[in-house]
Amino acid sequence: MFKNKWALALGLAITSSMLTFNISASAEPNKPECIAPAKPGGGFDLTCRLAQTALKDSGVLKDPLRISYMPGGIGAVAYNAIVAQRPDEAGTIVAFSGGSLLNLAQGKFGKYNASDVRWLAAIGADFGVMMVRDDSPYTSIKDVMAALKTDPSKVILGAGGSVGSQDWMKAALTAKAAGVDYKKMRFVAFEGGGEAVTALRGGFIQVYTGDAAEAATMIAGGAPIRVLAIYSDNRLPGKLSAVPTAKEQGFDIQWPIIRGFYMGPKVSNADYEWWVNAFNKTMSSSNYAELRTKQGLFPFDLTGAKLDGYIKQRVQAYTELADSFGLIKK
Protein backbone atom coordinates (compact mmCIF):
# COMPACT_ATOMS: atom_id res chain seq x y z
CA MET A 1 0.00 0.00 0.00
CA PHE A 2 2.68 2.50 0.98
CA LYS A 3 4.51 2.05 -2.32
CA ASN A 4 1.45 3.17 -4.27
CA LYS A 5 0.97 6.15 -1.97
CA TRP A 6 4.59 7.16 -2.39
CA ALA A 7 4.41 6.90 -6.17
CA LEU A 8 1.23 8.98 -6.23
CA ALA A 9 2.65 11.58 -3.90
CA LEU A 10 5.89 11.75 -5.84
CA GLY A 11 3.93 12.31 -9.03
CA LEU A 12 2.26 15.31 -7.44
CA ALA A 13 5.66 16.83 -6.77
CA ILE A 14 6.73 17.39 -10.37
CA THR A 15 7.69 21.02 -10.74
CA SER A 16 4.79 23.11 -12.02
CA SER A 17 5.07 26.27 -14.08
CA MET A 18 4.62 29.39 -11.96
CA LEU A 19 3.05 32.19 -14.01
CA THR A 20 2.51 35.05 -11.57
CA PHE A 21 3.86 36.06 -8.19
CA ASN A 22 2.36 38.59 -5.80
CA ILE A 23 5.04 39.24 -3.23
CA SER A 24 4.09 42.07 -0.93
CA ALA A 25 7.05 44.17 0.12
CA SER A 26 5.28 45.09 3.36
CA ALA A 27 5.21 41.42 4.38
CA GLU A 28 8.92 40.87 3.87
CA PRO A 29 10.37 39.69 7.19
CA ASN A 30 13.01 41.63 9.08
CA LYS A 31 16.17 39.70 9.89
CA PRO A 32 15.00 36.43 8.27
CA GLU A 33 16.42 33.28 9.80
CA CYS A 34 16.85 29.69 8.65
CA ILE A 35 17.28 27.12 11.41
CA ALA A 36 19.38 24.10 10.51
CA PRO A 37 18.44 21.39 13.07
CA ALA A 38 21.99 20.05 13.31
CA LYS A 39 25.57 21.17 13.72
CA PRO A 40 27.19 23.11 10.86
CA GLY A 41 27.82 20.95 7.81
CA GLY A 42 25.57 18.19 6.55
CA GLY A 43 22.19 18.12 4.85
CA PHE A 44 20.27 20.62 6.97
CA ASP A 45 23.04 23.20 6.62
CA LEU A 46 23.12 22.52 2.88
CA THR A 47 19.37 23.12 2.68
CA CYS A 48 19.58 26.48 4.47
CA ARG A 49 22.57 27.58 2.40
CA LEU A 50 20.78 26.78 -0.84
CA ALA A 51 17.84 28.91 0.28
CA GLN A 52 20.18 31.66 1.46
CA THR A 53 21.86 31.94 -1.94
CA ALA A 54 18.76 31.38 -4.07
CA LEU A 55 16.51 33.85 -2.23
CA LYS A 56 19.24 36.49 -2.48
CA ASP A 57 19.93 35.88 -6.17
CA SER A 58 16.22 36.01 -7.05
CA GLY A 59 15.89 39.37 -5.30
CA VAL A 60 12.98 38.44 -3.03
CA LEU A 61 14.93 39.10 0.18
CA LYS A 62 16.55 42.48 0.86
CA ASP A 63 18.11 41.29 4.12
CA PRO A 64 20.35 38.22 3.94
CA LEU A 65 18.95 34.98 5.33
CA ARG A 66 20.78 34.27 8.58
CA ILE A 67 21.55 30.62 9.39
CA SER A 68 21.45 29.34 12.96
CA TYR A 69 21.92 25.83 14.31
CA MET A 70 19.76 23.80 16.65
CA PRO A 71 21.02 20.20 16.70
CA GLY A 72 19.21 17.24 18.20
CA GLY A 73 17.26 14.17 17.15
CA ILE A 74 17.42 14.70 13.36
CA GLY A 75 15.17 17.72 13.76
CA ALA A 76 13.27 16.81 16.92
CA VAL A 77 14.73 19.57 19.11
CA ALA A 78 14.03 22.28 16.54
CA TYR A 79 10.51 20.97 15.87
CA ASN A 80 9.61 21.07 19.56
CA ALA A 81 11.15 24.53 19.99
CA ILE A 82 9.25 26.05 17.07
CA VAL A 83 5.91 24.55 18.05
CA ALA A 84 6.09 25.22 21.78
CA GLN A 85 8.30 28.29 22.15
CA ARG A 86 8.47 30.15 18.81
CA PRO A 87 5.18 29.38 17.04
CA ASP A 88 4.48 32.79 15.48
CA GLU A 89 7.85 33.97 14.16
CA ALA A 90 7.16 35.35 10.70
CA GLY A 91 10.82 35.52 9.73
CA THR A 92 11.89 32.02 10.78
CA ILE A 93 11.96 28.98 8.53
CA VAL A 94 13.26 25.56 9.61
CA ALA A 95 14.94 22.98 7.40
CA PHE A 96 13.61 19.43 7.29
CA SER A 97 14.46 16.26 5.39
CA GLY A 98 12.95 12.89 4.65
CA GLY A 99 14.77 11.65 7.76
CA SER A 100 12.88 14.21 9.84
CA LEU A 101 9.58 12.89 8.49
CA LEU A 102 10.60 9.29 9.14
CA ASN A 103 11.37 10.10 12.78
CA LEU A 104 8.16 12.09 13.07
CA ALA A 105 6.24 9.03 11.84
CA GLN A 106 7.95 6.85 14.46
CA GLY A 107 6.95 9.17 17.29
CA LYS A 108 10.48 10.44 17.88
CA PHE A 109 9.37 14.09 17.93
CA GLY A 110 7.56 13.67 21.23
CA LYS A 111 3.90 14.62 21.44
CA TYR A 112 3.86 16.59 18.18
CA ASN A 113 2.75 15.33 14.78
CA ALA A 114 2.77 16.42 11.14
CA SER A 115 -0.16 18.79 11.66
CA ASP A 116 1.62 20.92 14.26
CA VAL A 117 3.64 23.12 11.87
CA ARG A 118 3.05 24.96 8.59
CA TRP A 119 4.85 23.12 5.79
CA LEU A 120 6.32 25.76 3.50
CA ALA A 121 8.45 24.55 0.61
CA ALA A 122 10.33 21.55 -0.75
CA ILE A 123 13.31 22.78 -2.75
CA GLY A 124 14.91 19.58 -4.02
CA ALA A 125 15.44 15.91 -3.39
CA ASP A 126 17.97 13.15 -3.32
CA PHE A 127 17.20 9.47 -3.90
CA GLY A 128 18.40 6.18 -2.51
CA VAL A 129 20.81 4.03 -4.51
CA MET A 130 22.45 0.62 -4.33
CA MET A 131 26.18 0.71 -4.94
CA VAL A 132 29.08 -1.72 -4.82
CA ARG A 133 32.81 -1.62 -5.52
CA ASP A 134 33.68 -1.55 -9.19
CA ASP A 135 35.35 -4.96 -8.89
CA SER A 136 32.35 -6.54 -7.17
CA PRO A 137 30.95 -9.77 -8.60
CA TYR A 138 27.53 -8.09 -8.43
CA THR A 139 26.90 -6.31 -11.73
CA SER A 140 23.19 -5.66 -11.33
CA ILE A 141 20.59 -5.45 -8.58
CA LYS A 142 19.36 -8.87 -9.72
CA ASP A 143 22.73 -10.35 -8.74
CA VAL A 144 22.46 -8.89 -5.25
CA MET A 145 18.87 -10.04 -4.83
CA ALA A 146 19.73 -13.57 -5.94
CA ALA A 147 22.61 -13.70 -3.46
CA LEU A 148 20.41 -12.40 -0.64
CA LYS A 149 17.75 -14.97 -1.41
CA THR A 150 20.27 -17.82 -1.51
CA ASP A 151 21.98 -16.92 1.76
CA PRO A 152 21.38 -13.47 3.34
CA SER A 153 24.19 -14.07 5.84
CA LYS A 154 26.77 -13.88 3.06
CA VAL A 155 25.75 -10.42 1.79
CA ILE A 156 26.94 -7.64 4.09
CA LEU A 157 24.98 -4.43 3.65
CA GLY A 158 26.00 -1.20 5.32
CA ALA A 159 25.15 2.48 5.53
CA GLY A 160 25.29 5.51 7.77
CA GLY A 161 22.41 4.94 10.14
CA SER A 162 21.10 2.66 12.87
CA VAL A 163 17.92 0.57 12.92
CA GLY A 164 14.95 2.66 11.82
CA SER A 165 17.02 5.28 10.00
CA GLN A 166 16.62 6.13 6.33
CA ASP A 167 19.68 4.12 5.29
CA TRP A 168 18.55 1.13 7.34
CA MET A 169 15.10 1.42 5.75
CA LYS A 170 16.65 1.29 2.28
CA ALA A 171 18.50 -1.88 3.23
CA ALA A 172 15.39 -3.41 4.81
CA LEU A 173 13.32 -2.62 1.72
CA THR A 174 16.03 -4.21 -0.40
CA ALA A 175 15.87 -7.40 1.65
CA LYS A 176 12.08 -7.36 1.52
CA ALA A 177 12.10 -6.96 -2.27
CA ALA A 178 14.36 -10.00 -2.44
CA GLY A 179 11.85 -12.00 -0.43
CA VAL A 180 14.13 -12.12 2.60
CA ASP A 181 13.11 -11.51 6.21
CA TYR A 182 14.73 -8.17 7.07
CA LYS A 183 15.68 -9.59 10.48
CA LYS A 184 18.00 -12.02 8.72
CA MET A 185 19.91 -9.42 6.70
CA ARG A 186 23.44 -8.53 7.77
CA PHE A 187 23.51 -4.79 8.20
CA VAL A 188 26.45 -2.81 9.56
CA ALA A 189 25.61 0.68 10.85
CA PHE A 190 28.13 3.50 10.61
CA GLU A 191 28.18 6.99 12.10
CA GLY A 192 27.73 8.56 8.70
CA GLY A 193 27.93 8.08 4.97
CA GLY A 194 31.65 8.81 4.88
CA GLU A 195 32.48 5.89 7.16
CA ALA A 196 30.17 3.60 5.19
CA VAL A 197 31.83 4.54 1.91
CA THR A 198 35.26 3.88 3.42
CA ALA A 199 34.04 0.46 4.58
CA LEU A 200 32.71 -0.31 1.09
CA ARG A 201 35.96 0.70 -0.57
CA GLY A 202 37.91 -1.34 1.99
CA GLY A 203 35.80 -4.45 1.38
CA PHE A 204 34.32 -4.58 4.88
CA ILE A 205 30.82 -4.36 3.43
CA GLN A 206 29.68 -5.54 0.02
CA VAL A 207 26.64 -3.37 -0.67
CA TYR A 208 26.06 0.23 0.32
CA THR A 209 22.50 1.60 0.32
CA GLY A 210 23.46 5.24 0.02
CA ASP A 211 22.22 8.33 -1.79
CA ALA A 212 22.38 9.44 -5.42
CA ALA A 213 24.05 12.79 -4.73
CA GLU A 214 27.00 11.21 -2.92
CA ALA A 215 27.25 8.51 -5.58
CA ALA A 216 27.42 11.15 -8.34
CA THR A 217 30.09 13.03 -6.39
CA MET A 218 32.11 9.87 -5.88
CA ILE A 219 31.93 8.97 -9.56
CA ALA A 220 33.00 12.49 -10.55
CA GLY A 221 35.96 12.12 -8.19
CA GLY A 222 37.03 8.83 -9.74
CA ALA A 223 36.03 6.59 -6.81
CA PRO A 224 36.07 2.86 -7.63
CA ILE A 225 32.35 2.28 -7.18
CA ARG A 226 29.51 0.98 -9.33
CA VAL A 227 25.91 2.12 -8.92
CA LEU A 228 23.56 -0.78 -9.59
CA ALA A 229 20.16 0.84 -9.12
CA ILE A 230 18.38 4.09 -8.34
CA TYR A 231 15.56 3.94 -5.79
CA SER A 232 13.39 6.33 -7.78
CA ASP A 233 10.29 6.06 -9.92
CA ASN A 234 12.21 7.44 -12.92
CA ARG A 235 15.83 7.69 -14.00
CA LEU A 236 17.76 10.70 -12.76
CA PRO A 237 19.42 13.38 -14.88
CA GLY A 238 23.13 14.05 -14.98
CA LYS A 239 25.97 11.66 -14.18
CA LEU A 240 23.62 8.85 -13.13
CA SER A 241 21.32 9.03 -16.16
CA ALA A 242 22.56 5.68 -17.46
CA VAL A 243 21.82 3.86 -14.20
CA PRO A 244 18.49 2.00 -14.30
CA THR A 245 15.98 2.28 -11.49
CA ALA A 246 15.32 -0.68 -9.25
CA LYS A 247 11.79 -0.67 -10.63
CA GLU A 248 13.08 -1.07 -14.20
CA GLN A 249 14.93 -4.17 -13.04
CA GLY A 250 11.88 -5.73 -11.47
CA PHE A 251 12.12 -4.46 -7.88
CA ASP A 252 9.78 -1.62 -6.97
CA ILE A 253 11.92 0.12 -4.36
CA GLN A 254 11.56 3.88 -4.08
CA TRP A 255 13.20 6.18 -1.59
CA PRO A 256 13.01 9.91 -2.31
CA ILE A 257 14.76 12.11 0.24
CA ILE A 258 13.15 15.53 0.09
CA ARG A 259 14.62 18.70 1.55
CA GLY A 260 12.66 21.78 2.46
CA PHE A 261 11.27 24.09 5.15
CA TYR A 262 8.42 24.59 7.58
CA MET A 263 7.25 27.44 9.82
CA GLY A 264 5.61 27.79 13.21
CA PRO A 265 1.92 26.87 13.59
CA LYS A 266 0.80 30.39 14.52
CA VAL A 267 2.50 32.29 11.70
CA SER A 268 -0.15 34.47 10.04
CA ASN A 269 -1.57 33.56 6.65
CA ALA A 270 -0.15 36.76 5.14
CA ASP A 271 3.36 36.00 6.34
CA TYR A 272 3.14 32.36 5.34
CA GLU A 273 1.90 33.26 1.84
CA TRP A 274 4.73 35.76 1.47
CA TRP A 275 7.22 32.95 1.95
CA VAL A 276 5.28 30.60 -0.35
CA ASN A 277 5.36 33.18 -3.14
CA ALA A 278 9.00 33.95 -2.43
CA PHE A 279 9.97 30.31 -2.92
CA ASN A 280 7.74 29.97 -5.99
CA LYS A 281 9.49 32.92 -7.62
CA THR A 282 12.92 31.76 -6.54
CA MET A 283 12.53 28.19 -7.78
CA SER A 284 11.28 29.39 -11.18
CA SER A 285 14.25 31.75 -11.66
CA SER A 286 16.69 31.07 -14.48
CA ASN A 287 19.65 30.08 -12.31
CA TYR A 288 17.90 28.06 -9.59
CA ALA A 289 18.36 24.70 -11.31
CA GLU A 290 22.11 25.31 -11.46
CA LEU A 291 22.26 26.27 -7.77
CA ARG A 292 20.28 23.15 -6.81
CA THR A 293 22.53 20.90 -8.89
CA LYS A 294 25.64 22.38 -7.27
CA GLN A 295 24.24 21.26 -3.91
CA GLY A 296 23.75 17.72 -5.24
CA LEU A 297 19.97 17.84 -5.32
CA PHE A 298 17.51 16.81 -8.02
CA PRO A 299 14.28 18.58 -9.10
CA PHE A 300 11.50 18.41 -6.53
CA ASP A 301 9.59 21.68 -6.09
CA LEU A 302 6.45 21.94 -3.97
CA THR A 303 5.03 24.75 -1.84
CA GLY A 304 2.04 25.63 0.32
CA ALA A 305 -1.03 23.42 0.35
CA LYS A 306 0.38 20.95 -2.17
CA LEU A 307 3.41 20.36 0.02
CA ASP A 308 1.22 20.03 3.11
CA GLY A 309 -0.81 17.30 1.42
CA TYR A 310 2.33 15.53 0.25
CA ILE A 311 3.88 15.62 3.73
CA LYS A 312 0.76 14.17 5.34
CA GLN A 313 0.73 11.33 2.79
CA ARG A 314 4.42 10.69 3.27
CA VAL A 315 4.26 10.59 7.08
CA GLN A 316 1.32 8.18 6.90
CA ALA A 317 3.27 5.98 4.46
CA TYR A 318 6.32 6.09 6.72
CA THR A 319 4.15 5.14 9.68
CA GLU A 320 2.80 2.10 7.84
CA LEU A 321 6.30 1.17 6.70
CA ALA A 322 7.82 1.51 10.18
CA ASP A 323 4.96 -0.51 11.64
CA SER A 324 5.54 -3.27 9.09
CA PHE A 325 9.13 -3.48 10.35
CA GLY A 326 8.08 -3.54 13.99
CA LEU A 327 9.41 -0.06 14.75
CA ILE A 328 6.22 1.48 16.14
CA LYS A 329 5.74 1.01 19.86
CA LYS A 330 2.24 -0.23 20.62
Domain residue limits, the chain: 2-125+256-324, 128-240
| Mean pLDDT, all residues of the chain | 89
pLDDT of residue 46: 87
Q: Give the closest residue to 133 by CA, choosing from 205, 239, 27, 25.
A: 205
**Cα–Cα distance, 37 to 77 (Å, whole number):** 7
pLDDT of residue 17: 36
pLDDT of residue 4: 52
- Do 128-240 and 2-125+256-324 have the same topology in CATH? yes
Task: Give yes or no for residue 43 having a pLDDT over 90.
Answer: no
Q: Which CATH architecture has domain 128-240?
A: 3-Layer(aba) Sandwich (3.40)
Return the beta strands (E) in 18-138 as ranges.
Answer: 33-36, 66-69, 92-97, 118-133
Half-sphere exposure of 228 (CA within 13 A, CB side): 26
End-to-end CA distance of the chain: 21
246-250: average pLDDT: 96
pLDDT band at residue 239 under the 50/70/90 scheme? confident
pTM, to two decimals: 0.81
Q: Does domain 2-125+256-324 have CATH number 3.40.190.150?
A: yes
pLDDT of residue 8: 47
DSSP, collapsed to helix, strand or coil, labels residue 318 as: helix
CB 265 within 8 A of CB 83: yes
Half-sphere exposure of 90 (CA within 13 A, CB side): 12
CA-to-CA separations, 160 to 12, 40, 187, 283, 295, in angstroms, rounded: 29, 18, 10, 30, 20
Paired sense of beta strands 256-263 and 118-133, if any = antiparallel
